[in-house]
Amino acid sequence: MNLHGIVSGSVRRVNPYTDALVYRSRGSTQQADYSRVPEYEDPVPVRVQKQAVTQADLRHLDNLNQQGVFATLYTDGNWCGLNRTRQQGGDKFVIGDETWLVVEVPEIWPDWTRVIVCLQV
């Protein structure tokens, strides 16, 4: 059951969806100087709902020693943070002129995902 789909109409009245582009990571390429450059698939337009990060999520990120400007995005589909065993991760969302890197995926369901993103400078 897609609970996000059921409640999104009501939530949308308070916090409307925002257009975004998601770039799914394809890994990285090694350069001649042995540095690595990330590669991304072509961008996919999506609608996201951007919300503040919960206090529990902030405590978790603090324990991971991550710093920055964080937000929570709710979106349809499945997007990944870092998963070294599957060689996945590094997806990024572009909202307006801001780029947000997926750093955590606290909820992943068949129809929607909640991700924590960090603003990139």
The domain spanning residue 93 has which CATH number?
2.40.10
Number of domains in the chain: 1
> How far apart (Å, rounded) are the C-alpha atoms in residues 25 and 91?
5
> How far apart (Å, rounded) are the C-alpha atoms in residues 110 and 23?
20
What's residue 72's pLDDT? 94
What's residue 59's pLDDT? 78
pLDDT in tens, 2-31: 665 666 666 666 778 999 999 988 888 899
Say what the pTM is. 0.79
Q: Which residues of the chain have pLDDT under 50?
A: none
74: Cβ contacts below 8 Å, ≥ 6 apart: 4, 8, 48, 49, 51, 112, 113, 114
Domain that holds residue 33: 3-120
